[in-house]
Structure formats: structure tokens, C-alpha cells
């Protein structure tokens, strides 16, 4: 009897701690942002949103994040494929290096890109000769976003490829399917849930990226100023409402994506 009571108290205590932790760390700050953005009334909020520099920054961020996500879907899927399906020297090292963008401070990533693509670097000069600049222009932002979100798609696709049975492919061959047909009709549909959920996470991370981007973007308002840097700028110039308004937009976007990822994964599990 007493052990039962004890067990119940334990579980009650654990649950309360977790819920409290969750509230203090996640729920309250988020509610705070929503509350703060509306603290000077609805009109102030909409004024800050329709401010051209604000919505241009949000729009630019979304556009570049979409491009970065598409690039990662392609490269990430290919990388996952190569890392799982091929055996070559250095494969394990390469595989462990995939997570590097997660471990690295994003400012360091930004610095790396800055040095790599700068006007005096080999790549920078070469691009200059072809007639376009990468650094402080949109391509640099996309590169920074691709770099920091690189692991998502790979890590989402890898387990699916790993658990996929070789006999499913062989079955397709014995039924007369060519290698290409087998890839499109059997292998790709197996990887698709991973590609999609990886892409969603990569997209929401790209939307939020600050450290890597701020160093390489140039941050020209209306041209290369992305949302997170805009928020930083607004705070610096003491316009909290402007910062929270854009934050709320980004936050809502992230929530929608997170919810979609969960939905996709749940459908995969049940369907």
C-alpha cells in the first residue's frame, strides 16, 4: 500500500516537474512574445507588420529559406544515399562529419563562409570573373542557410534507407522493373517521408538562422536584410513592438511547420 502511494507520488512529482519546466522554458516566453507584440494595441502591431522593410525582410527570408530547403532536399537525399549504399574509405568519418553544422557555433560557420567566398578568395574571384558577387548578396545567405541546415534531410532519410529491405528492390527486379523504375516507384516512395520531414525542419531552421547569415549577408535593408537580423536591428534601435511583430510572424510560421511535420510523421506511422 505504502509503496503504491509512493509510486503515485513519484510519478505525480515527475510529471509536475516536467510540465513546470516546459511552461517556464517554452510556453511563457512564447506567450510573452505574443502578448508583447499586442501590448500597444492591434493598430501598432499591424503598423509594424505593414512597414515595407519588415515584410520585405520576412518575404526575403521565406524565399531564401525555400531555395535553401530545396537544395538540401536534393543534396541531402543524395548524401544519405551515398553514405548508406556505398562502401568507401572514409565513409564513417564523412558520416560523423554530417553533424558538424549542428555542433559548430553558427558565427563560426558564418566566418568560414566569409573567408571562403570573400572577394580575395579563390571562389570569390572566380565568381567575380563570371560577373556576379556572392558575398553580401543573396547567394551568400542561401549558402549560409544550406550549411547550417545540411544535416536535417540526411539524418531523416538515413534510417529509412537503412531499414529498407534489399529484397523489396530485388522483388521489383524480378517483376521486370528496370533500375530506374525501381528507384522511382519503390525506393523514392520509401524515402519520401524522411525527405519531407527533414525538409520541414531544415526550412524552419533556415527561417530562424541568425549567426551564420549576419556575417555574410551585408544586411542591406530591403535587399539582403533577413527577418532575424531585422529583429536584432529593431531591438538595437529600441523598437520592441517592431521586433515582436516580426517575431510573431516567424513564430507562427514555425508552429505551422512543426505541426505539419508531426502530421506527416503521424500519417506515416498510421498509414
Partner 1 sequence: MHIEVRGLNKKFGDFQAVTDVGFEIEKGQLIGLLGPSGGGKTSILRMLAGLESVDEGDILFHGKRVNDLPPQERGIGFVFQNYALFKHMTVADNIAFGLEVKKWTKPKIKERVAELVELTGLSGFEKRYPHQLSGGQRQRVAFARALAPEPQLLLLDEPFAAIDAKIRHELRSWLREMIDRLGITSIFVTHDQDEAIEVADQIMIINKGRLEQKGTPWEIYKNPQSPFVAGFIGESTIVEDVSSLRGFGNVSDWPGTKALIRPEYVEVGKSSDFELLSATETGHVRHVHFRGSEWLVEIEVGSTKLVTYRSLEKEILHPGDEVQVLIHRAYLFNDNDSWVMENKLKVDPMPVHI
CB of 162 to partner 1, least distance (A): 15
Pick the closer one to partner 1 by CB: 89 or 176: 176
Q: How far is the CB of 181 from partner 1 (least distance, A)?
A: 5
165 or 236: CB nearest partner 1: 165
Q: Residue 81 CB, nearest distance to partner 1 (Å)?
A: 18
Chain positions contacting partner 1, by CB under 8 A: 165, 167-168, 170-178, 181, 185-186, 189-190, 271
Residue 191's φ and ψ, nearest 5 degrees, are: -85, -20
Alpha-carbon distance 45 to 53, whole Å? 14
Q: Whole-angstrom Cα distance, residue 88 to residue 230?
A: 45
For the bound state, the minimum distance from the C-beta of residue 182 to partner 1, rounded and expressed in Å, comes to 9
Q: Least distance (Å) from partner 1 to the CB of residue 171? A: 4
Q: Which is nearer to partner 1, 125 or 170 (CB)?
A: 170
Q: Which lies closer to partner 1 via its Cβ, residue 187 or residue 245?
A: 187
Smallest distance, Å, CB 175 to partner 1?
3
What is the nearest approach in angstroms of partner 1 to the Cβ of residue 264?
14
Is there a contact between 225 and 60 (Cβ–Cβ < 8 Å)?
Answer: yes
Nearer to partner 1, 71 or 195 (CB): 195
Q: Measured from the CB atom, is 173 or 255 closer to partner 1?
A: 173
Judged by CB, which is closer to partner 1: 59, or 171? Answer: 171
Residue identified by cell 560523423 is 96
Amino acid at each position: 500500500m505504502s509503496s503504491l502511494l509512493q509510486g503515485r507520488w513519484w510519478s505525480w512529482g515527475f510529471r509536475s516537474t516536467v510540465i513546470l519546466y516546459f511552461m517556464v522554458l517554452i510556453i511563457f516566453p512564447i506567450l510573452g512574445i505574443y502578448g508583447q507584440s499586442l501590448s500597444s494595441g492591434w493598430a501598432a502591431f499591424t503598423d509594424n507588420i505593414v512597414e515595407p522593410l519588415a515584410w520585405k525582410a520576412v518575404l526575403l527570408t521565406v524565399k531564401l529559406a525555400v531555395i535553401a530547403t530545396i537544395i538540401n532536399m536534393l543534396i541531402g537525399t543524395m548524401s544519405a544515399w551515398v553514405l548508406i549504399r556505398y562502401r568507401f574509405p572514409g565513409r564513417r568519418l564523412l558520416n560523423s562529419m554530417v553533424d558538424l553544422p549542428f555542433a559548430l557555433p553558427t558565427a563560426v560557420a558564418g566566418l568560414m563562409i566569409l573567408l571562403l567566398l570573400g572577394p580575395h578568395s579563390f571562389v570569390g574571384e572566380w565568381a567575380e570573373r563570371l560577373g556576379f558577387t556572392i558575398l553580401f548578396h543573396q547567394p551568400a545567405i542561401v549558402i549560409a542557410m544550406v550549411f547550417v541546415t545540411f544535416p536535417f534531410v540526411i539524418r531523416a532519410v538515413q534510417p529509412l534507407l537503412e531499414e529498407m529491405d534489399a529484397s523489396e528492390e530485388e522483388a521489383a527486379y524480378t517483376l521486370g522493373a528496370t533500375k530506374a523504375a525501381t528507384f522511382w516507384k519503390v525506393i523514392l516512395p520509401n524515402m519520401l517521408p524522411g525527405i519531407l520531414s527533414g525538409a520541414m525542419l531544415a526550412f524552419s531552421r533556415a527561417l530562424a538562422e541568425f549567426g551564420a547569415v549576419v556575417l555574410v549577408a551585408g544586411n542591406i535593408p530591403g535587399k539582403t536584410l533577413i527577418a532575424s537580423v531585422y529583429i536584432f536591428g529593431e531591438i538595437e534601435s529600441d523598437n520592441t513592438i517592431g521586433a515582436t511583430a516580426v517575431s510573431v510572424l516567424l513564430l507562427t510560421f514555425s508552429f505551422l511547420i512543426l505541426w505539419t511535420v508531426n502530421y506527416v510523421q503521424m500519417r506515416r506511422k498510421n498509414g
